[in-house]
Each structure stands twice: as structure tokens, then as C-alpha cells.
């Protein structure tokens, strides 16, 4: 990484090495450079502190399961927003904003407890394409919280309130904006309905759960985007 790149992105070679070795460190391997770099770099230090707090909040075995898998890209922003909202972790600046779209976004993640639960379920239950297929231990952990999480999402009053507020607000939008929102939500609702139906038929199908969790997260982001927009 050149000096110019470092200046532009804020990353150093140490950050790249940190990123590479973080998983092994969290799995208990001796990686002294992780803690050393975390002390020198505020971004990575903040990240490590957050992950340590998640480890404490979730329990170490669960986190280890989580790190065996690669989360879907939509999971982390929602999970993180929920954990911040609940005060479990704090909001660093720069690093995560750059990598996980934490800018003041039209699609700001929704801070609701149900979102945290379902995102966590997805995060743990779902794995990278190469690993999930026969990952029975991951499946067990995921299933243990999956049912509760999906129920929490369906019954979350904040989610329901958001939909009601959205309906009031969208009526004030101009037709093209309203159309874009309504079509998107219709598409996501259709996905949710079908995935829920299939999740009941095949509760251990990880792809169905992955899509369902992702659809909920996206729907929350779309609703939040509409509620926050100042567009006419």
C-alpha cells in the first residue's frame, strides 16, 4: 500500500495485517501484533474493542461459531446499528463508516431489537457458501435462536409502527418517488412471504433463512430511508 493510498483510505499495512489475522486471534491463537496494532490505530482498536464486547454479550462459543462463517453483506450494518442503539458497542468513526456504509445514508439501518436478533441469527446461522452446507454445529446454534428471532421480528411493535408511519409519509411524496418505494417494498414483502412459508416447510434450509433475514433487514432499511428523506 502506497503512502498516497494510505492517506486516501486511512488504512495502513498494519490495518491490512490486522484484518487478516483478526479471525485467528479471536479463535484464541496467539497473535501479539493484533493487540499491538489495536493500541496504535484508533480504527482497529475500536473494532477490536467492539468485537470483545460482542463476545461478552453473546458468549464465546457462539462468537466462535459466528467467525467460522462469512456473514451476508447486509447483516453487519443492521446488527451493528442495533448493538449501538442498545449501548452494547459504541460508534467509531472512519473505518467502519468507510467499509460498511455508515455515512448518513438514505438506507440507514434500523435500530430495533428484533433486527439485532434476526441479524444475529442470520450472522450465526448462515455461513459462507463453502462452509454452511454441512455445518451441523452452526445449524444447531442458528436454529436455537432462529425461531425466536423470526417471531421477534414479526411481532416487533417498532417494525409495525414504522410501516404505519411510512404509509402516512409516502402519501406526501411525489408519484415517482412513491412508486420507487412502493415497488421495492412490494418486492421485499413478496420475498418475506415466500421465505416464511418455505422456512416453515424446511426450517433447516439455511438459504431460506438467509434470504428471509436479508429481506427483513432490507425492508427495515427501505422504511427508514423513506422516513428520513426530505425529498419532496
Partner 1 sequence: MIGRVHQTKTIMGFSVAMLATASVLIAAGAQQEKTFQTTKNPRISLTNFIGSVSVKGWNKPEVHAVYVVTFTPGVEVDTEGIPNKGRAQKLHFETHLLNSKARDGNEAVDYVLEVPRSSSLEIRNPQGSVRVEGLKGDTWIESVGGSISAVDITGPLTLRSLGGALEMIRPAGYIEASTVTGDMHFISPLSSRIRANTTSGQIYYEGNLAPAGEYVLSSYSGDINIDCPRSSSFELNARSVHGKLDNELRLTPKQHEAFSPRYGNGLFGTHNQGEATLELTSYTGSIHIRPQP
d(CA 159, CA 169): 15
Please report how the helices 206-228 and 136-155 are oriented relative to each other, as an axis angle in degrees rounded to 10: 40
Rule CB under 8 A: say whether 227 interacts with partner 1. Answer: no
Indicate the residue among 117 and 195 with the shorter CB distance to partner 1: 195
CA dihedral (14, 15, 17, 21) positive or negative: positive
- What three-state secondary structure class fits 102? coil
d(CA 72, CA 134): 18
Single residue of 6, 45, 107, 113 touching partner 1 by CB under 8 A: 107
What is the radius of gyration, based on Cα positions, of the chain?
A: 19
226 close to 170: Cβ distance less than 8 angstroms: yes
Rule CB under 8 A: say whether 94 interacts with partner 1. Answer: no
122 close to 152: Cβ distance less than 8 angstroms: no
Rule CB under 8 A: say whether 201 interacts with partner 1. Answer: no
Rule CB under 8 A: say whether 133 interacts with partner 1. Answer: yes
Question: At 91, phi and psi to the nearest 5?
Answer: -95, 105
Rule CB under 8 A: say whether 64 interacts with partner 1. Answer: no
d(CA 77, CA 71): 11
Rule CB under 8 A: say whether 20 interacts with partner 1. Answer: no
Closest distance to partner 1 from the beta carbon of 187 (Å): 4
Q: Report the candidate in 38, 34, 84, 31 with the shortest Cα–Cα distance to residue 57.
A: 84
Rule CB under 8 A: say whether 177 interacts with partner 1. Answer: yes
Rule CB under 8 A: say whether 137 interacts with partner 1. Answer: no
Rule CB under 8 A: say whether 74 interacts with partner 1. Answer: yes
Using CB under 8 A, which of the segments 45-53, 84-92, 127-135, 162-170 binds partner 1? 127-135
Rule CB under 8 A: say whether 175 interacts with partner 1. Answer: yes
153 alpha carbon, distance to own chain's centre: 14
117 close to 149: Cβ distance less than 8 angstroms: yes
Indicate the residue among 57 and 207 with the shorter CB distance to partner 1: 207
Rule CB under 8 A: say whether 181 interacts with partner 1. Answer: yes
Closest distance to partner 1 from the beta carbon of 36 (Å): 27
Which residues lie near partner 1 (CB under 8 A)? 7-9, 73-74, 98, 101, 103, 105-107, 129-130, 133-134, 174-177, 179-181, 183-184, 187-188, 190-191, 194-195, 198, 202, 205-208, 211, 214-215, 218, 222, 225, 229-232
Amino acid at each position: 500500500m502506497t503512502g498516497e493510498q494510505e492517506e486516501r483510505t486511512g488504512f495502513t499495512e498494519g490495518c491490512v495485517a490486522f484484518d487478516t489475522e483478526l479471525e485467528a486471534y479471536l479463535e484464541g491463537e496467539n497473535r501479539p501484533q493484533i493487540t499491538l496494532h489495536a493500541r496504535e490505530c484508533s480504527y482497529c482498536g475500536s473494532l477490536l474493542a467492539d468485537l470483545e464486547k460482542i463476545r461478552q454479550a453473546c458468549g464465546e462459543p457462539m462468537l466462535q461459531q459466528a467467525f467460522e462463517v462469512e456473514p451476508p453483506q447486509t447483516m453487519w450494518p443492521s446488527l451493528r446499528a442495533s448493538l449501538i442503539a442498545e449501548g452494547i458497542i459504541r460508534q467509531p468513526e472512519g473505518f467502519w463508516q468507510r467499509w460498511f456504509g455508515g455515512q448518513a445514508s438514505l438506507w440507514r439501518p434500523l435500530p430495533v431489537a428484533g433486527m439485532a436478533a434476526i441479524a444475529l441469527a442470520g450472522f450465526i446461522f448462515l455461513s459462507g457458501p463453502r462452509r454452511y452446507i454441512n455445518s451441523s454445529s452452526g445449524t444447531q446454534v442458528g436454529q436455537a435462536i432462529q425461531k425466536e428471532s423470526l417471531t421477534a421480528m414479526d411481532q416487533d411493535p417498532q417494525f409495525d409502527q414504522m410501516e404505519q408511519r411510512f404509509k402516512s409519509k409516502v402519501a406526501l411524496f411525489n408519484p415517482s418517488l412513491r412508486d420507487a418505494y412502493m415497488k421495492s417494498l412490494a418486492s421485499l414483502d413478496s420475498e418475506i412471504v415466500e421465505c416464511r412459508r418455505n422456512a416453515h416447510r424446511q426450517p433447516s434450509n439455511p438459504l431460506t433463512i438467509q434470504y428471509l433475514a436479508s429481506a427483513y433487514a432490507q425492508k427495515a432499511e427501505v422504511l427508514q430511508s423513506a422516513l428520513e428523506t426530505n425529498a419532496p
